[in-house]
Structure 1
């Protein structure tokens, strides 16, 4: 950063301006030349340039973060040996996508029910906030305070058995009626039917997301858009096609 730029930044702060001038006089033991004379036009020109440069740096950092997470997710092998790594990476991604102050909190890994029969991969608590339209609407529409996440690092699409198991975790009285299953390769037709059946018959929302969906959410986040758009679309697809 040039000396004239420093003077421009200190232009509106007389004490700082003259302290900077004094430092330069002592450092160079010479008078300050005319190049360091700053007027308001130069100040008004340089400050927006610095702010724009700072914004570009931040955008590059964000872009690298989202793309990096997507690449790391795809590098994991779809097998049992990488199941824990897949789960940990998905949790890292979710924490990046959804703010701990306005969206979700708690982030409790593998909690168990009182009877010890059921253990979830991840339990989060929804933060009701005007800053968070999607999660607040989800809480109101499905009468839930908590949301579950399950992670399936399978080579093939998940089957209806995984849906029936997940349905047992959901309990309306405990305000726990919504779950998102992140299945690397999605679900087969019978699993999709089972998820719709849980919603139709018991009011339990089970949304299936693929690794591709997750990467699309990361891309939206990188662009400054709302990643929950993907979740909204998946829920809409279920509700619109649901029959009696």
Structure 2
């Protein structure tokens, strides 16, 4: 209880500092944690309301944590909560402020996914002026007197240790290498096989512990249907255990669509033919260069509603986000729980949640 009280007190202190930084940025600030509600100021769950010129209103969610880094799972939960305050925003997006470091790639993913702005410790320090010394002192109190390196310092730090098989630089290079290869493959029919091959490499890297025994260009027994990639699921991760249980799936399919334009409903109809609830393969991840158009999404809703088949659309941007998240997970390491909290599956789970939650009756 004493430890929780200390964290709570430092959380209030951090909110005050965030409010001061916002004031330095020219906003009028109301910190709801410290001012009693009144007739003119209702009780709200976000922490700060920043009001600026031209009718700008920014609801601010402030998160203090004793951790040095923010995991993907933590950011996903906080991002979803912050997105709830869009109705209270005007001419701006809601703002999430974390008192810890957030890997740039997952911060950018969360900003895009939840349509919010996010400041972490580094960004907050760059925006502070008169408050910078107080912030530095506050953050040093969480690190035994040793301030964390800034983001640029961490990015520019390279290890050169003889005999070390896997360094952070080497781990990061794998995901970035796959991204570069993916971007280098041109769209179109002539490069369809190359696109399938890079997609397989991406899947194998991200889901190395969960998907096994890949088969490429598999033909069904009747000889009528081909699907690009099929994997056997090893349901040890909670995500895969839940997904395979809910849909009674033993395998999952990946269809690789190397089209230069967004895929449409005809591609969904042709892919749906490969899926079979009775054969325990009702799930397909449709990989494409660009996001699927709205008609394709509506067709996927129909397959889900009428046949219980799940088609999940993943474009190149989604794959890049998961690749960078995998790099981050490996570079962070830690316990099994910490690795799970940084799993790129969080991004995939959010995609499925977005799809199911928006599906009409």
Fold shared, TM-score > 0.5 on shorter chain? yes
1:163 aligned partner: 268
Post-superposition offset of 1:208: 0.5
Q: For residues 121-160 of structure 1, what are the structure 2 equivalents within 5 Å?
A: 121-129=228-236, 132-160=237-265
1:222 aligned partner: 327
The alignment status of 1:213 with 2:318, answered yes or no, reads: yes
2:196 aligned partner: 87
SS at match of 2:220: coil
1:238 aligned partner: 355
Q: Deviations over 1:18-69 (max 9, x none)?
A: xxxxxxxxxxxxxxxxxxxxxxxxxxxxxxxx9x998895211110000110
2:99 aligned partner: none
2:123 aligned partner: none
The alignment status of 1:187 with 2:292, answered yes or no, reads: yes
Mark the CA change 1:242 to 1:54 in structure 2 (over 3 Å): closer, same or farther.
Answer: farther
Higher relative contact order (CA 8 A, sep 6+): 1
Segments of 4+ moved more than 4 angstroms: 52-57
Separation (CA, whole Å) in 1 of partners of 2:165 and 2:356: 40
TM-score by length of 2: 0.51
2:281 aligned partner: 176
Q: For residues 53-132 of structure 1, what are the structure 2 equivalents within 5 Å?
A: 58-99=167-208, 102-129=209-236, 132=237
Which one of 295, 301, 308 corresponds to residue 203 of structure 1? 308
Post-superposition offset of 1:108: 0.4
Aligned length, in residue pairs = 190
Structure 1 unaligned regions, length at least 5: 1-49
SS at match of 1:111: strand
Mark the CA change 1:55 to 1:198 in structure 2 (over 3 Å): closer, same or farther.
Answer: farther
SS at match of 2:286: strand
Post-superposition offset of 1:243: 2.0
Post-superposition offset of 1:72: 0.8
Separation (CA, whole Å) in 1 of partners of 2:212 and 2:354: 27
Separation (CA, whole Å) in 2 of partners of 1:189 and 1:151: 19
Mark the CA change 1:162 to 1:53 in structure 2 (over 3 Å): closer, same or farther.
Answer: same
> Which structure dedicates a bigger proportion of its chain to helix?
1
CA-atom RMSD, angstroms?
A: 1.8
Mark the CA change 1:218 to 1:190 in structure 2 (over 3 Å): closer, same or farther.
Answer: same
